[in-house]
Amino acid sequence: MILVTGAAGLSGSAIVSQCVAQGIPVRALVRNAQVATRIAGHGVELVEGDMADPKTLGAALAGVDRALMVSTANEKMEETQCIFVDACKRAGVRHVIKFSGAEDGFDPDAFVFTAMHERIEDYLERSGLAWTHLRPSQFMQVYLREARTIVEADELRLPLGSIELAPVDIADVAAISVEILRTDGHDGCSYMMTGPEALTGNDIAGYIGAARGQTVRYVPISPERRRDDLLAAGAPAYFADGIYDQARERLRHPTAKIHLETHRRLGISPTRFSNFARRYATQFARKPQLAHDIS
């Protein structure tokens, strides 16, 4: 039995969808099954529970051999995932795959979520359970958050200066995750993964513009401006502060390294950003004006 936690979130739901597409039975842990119906499908067993409350995990962990552990990146992520590791050990789960994250050269003391991921990985390794770490870089899907500004102003405003990033498609990561869940030989492995290209903000804006058929201009902003914009939009302070720290750390590492070893080992073809942008072109496209709208 395979368990995927955080199954209603962006990453977890992508992994569950890959299981469905490949006909692999999967148990999906969600907090509220009534609002998680979009991930339901043939072979998906929805189970309610809270990763941070072991009393709610009995049905979720019963008979599970492998669990893929993913949870919301918030201020309680470390506590939540360490509690879940302990619950897995008590329930007799053999192997926990941690959905982590990494970017080359990042100082964990400079970015809270890198530090948390590393401490959780250490905790899992000391647990006595078999473990595997998945370490994707930035997701291509984070650029969907910028769709409103792109649609309204034809601009991509980010604190990236002229640095390179190598974003990876969540669909690739999900396919890799399913291969690890369904096959042996991954115990004690840490898998870095990026997209196939080192891209600047100008490159990313260019691909989005080409996909939607309307030019997008990259506008570099400061990390401080990005944090202020997020707070003004109602983002939680921990998230805005984390994005600020992440931007500052990225600016210290202007050259991206490409890691496709995991794709190659597991036979997953890496998605190029141009293909991702075309897939989501309608979300980035400026809405056409109605004939009577002359404002």
Residue 287 confidence class, pLDDT cut points 50, 70, 90: low
Q: Quick one: average pLDDT of 271-280?
A: 98
Domain count, the chain: 1
**Bridge partners for 135 per DSSP:** 192
Give the type of residue at 36.
Answer: A
Q: Quick one: average pLDDT of 169-182?
A: 96
Task: Identify the DSSP state of 56.
Answer: G
Whole-angstrom CA distances from 32 to 63, 88, 146 are 21, 21, 28
Domain annotation covers residue 211: no
**Residue 26, domain extent:** 2-137+170-193
Residue 288, pLDDT > 80, answer: no
Q: Which residues contact 211 (CB under 8 A, 6 or more apart)?
A: 274, 277, 278, 280, 281, 284
Residue 174, pLDDT > 70, answer: yes
Closest CA to 97 of 145, 65, 54: 65
Domain annotation covers residue 43: yes
Closest CA to 102 of 129, 126, 120, 83: 120
Q: Are 255 and 104 in contact (CB under 8 A)?
A: no
Domain annotation covers residue 71: yes
What is the structure's pLDDT at 259? 97
Q: Quick one: average pLDDT of 4-9?
A: 92
Task: Identify the DSSP state of 199.
Answer: B
Domain annotation covers residue 119: yes
Domain annotation covers residue 25: yes
Domain annotation covers residue 189: yes
Q: Are 51 and 5 in contact (CB under 8 A)?
A: yes
Edge-first strand order for the sheet with 2-4 is 44-48, 26-30, 2-4, 66-69, 95-99, 130-136, 189-193
Residue 293, pLDDT > 70, answer: no
Least trusted range by pLDDT, from 99-103, 185-189, 200-204: 99-103
Q: Are 3 and 62 in contact (CB under 8 A)?
A: no
Residue 289 confidence class, pLDDT cut points 50, 70, 90: very low
In sequence order, which ranges of the chain are alpha helices (DSSP H)? 10-21, 58-61, 77-91, 112-126, 147-153, 170-182, 201-212, 223-232, 237-251, 261-266, 273-279, 281-284
Residue 245, pLDDT > 80, answer: yes
Domain annotation covers residue 242: no
Structure tokens at 51: 């990763």
At 111, which CATH number? Answer: 3.40.50.720
- Residues 202-232: pLDDT tens digits? 999 999 999 999 999 999 999 999 999 999 9
- Residues 30-74: pLDDT tens digits? 988 777 777 777 789 999 999 999 999 999 999 999 999 999 989
Domain annotation covers residue 281: no
Q: Quick one: average pLDDT of 20-36?
A: 87
